[in-house]
Amino acid sequence: MANVVVVGAQWGDEGKGKIVDWLSERADVVARFQGGHNAGHTLVIDGAVYKLHVLPSGVVRGGKLSVIGNGVVLDPWHLVKEIETVRAQGVDISPETLMIAENTPLILPLHGELDRARESATSVAKIGTTGRGIGPAYEDKVGRRVVRVADLADRATLETRVDRLLAHHNLLRSALGMDAVDRDQLVQDLMDIAPEVLKYAAPVWKVLNEKRKAGKRILFEGAQGALLDVDFGTYPFVTSSNVIAGQAATGTGIGPGGIDFVLGIVKAYTTRVGEGPFPTELLDDDGDRLGTRGHEFGTTTGRKRRCGWFDACLVRQTCATSGVTGIALTKLDVLDGFETLKICVGYELDGVRMDYLPTAADQQARCTPIYEEVPGWSESTEGARSWADLPANAIKYVRRVEELIECPVALLSTSPEREDTILVTDPFQD
pLDDT in tens, 159-190: 999 999 999 999 999 999 999 999 999 999 99
Q: Which residue has the higher pLDDT, 131 or 137?
A: 137
Peptide bond into 236 cis (omega under 30): yes
Catalytic hit among 21, 37, 41, 151: 41
Contact predicate 80/86, CB 8 Å: no
Residue 94: CB partners within 8 Å, gap ≥ 6? none
d(CA 298, CA 305): 7
- φ, ψ for residue 349 (rounded to 5)? -125, 110
Query: What's the pLDDT band for 46 if we cut at 50, 70, 90?
Result: confident
Q: What is the pLDDT of residue 343?
A: 98
Residue 43 pLDDT > 80: no
Contact predicate 224/239, CB 8 Å: yes
The enclosing H or E element of 319 equals: helix 312-322
Contact predicate 260/215, CB 8 Å: no
Residue 292 pLDDT > 60: yes
Residue ranges of alpha helices (H) inside 219-260 are 247-250
d(CA 155, CA 153): 7
Residue 205: CB partners within 8 Å, gap ≥ 6? 70, 101, 252, 253, 254
Q: State the chain's mean pLDDT as an integer.
A: 92
Residues facing residue 48 across a β-bridge: 45
Q: What is the pLDDT of residue 47?
A: 76
Q: What is the pLDDT of residue 122?
A: 63
Query: What's the pLDDT band for 58 if we cut at 50, 70, 90?
Result: confident
Contact predicate 234/19, CB 8 Å: no
41 is catalytic: yes
Q: What is the pLDDT of residue 429?
A: 81
Lowest mean pLDDT among 52-66, 93-107, 232-246, 292-306: 292-306
Residue 125: CB partners within 8 Å, gap ≥ 6? 275
Q: Characterize the bridge pairing of strands 41-45 and 98-101.
A: unpaired
Residue 430 pLDDT > 60: no
pTM above 0.95, yes or no: no
Q: Kindly report the CA angle at 67 between 63 and 71, in degrees rounded to 5? A: 165
d(CA 283, CA 263): 31
Residue 253 CA to its chain's centroid (Å): 19
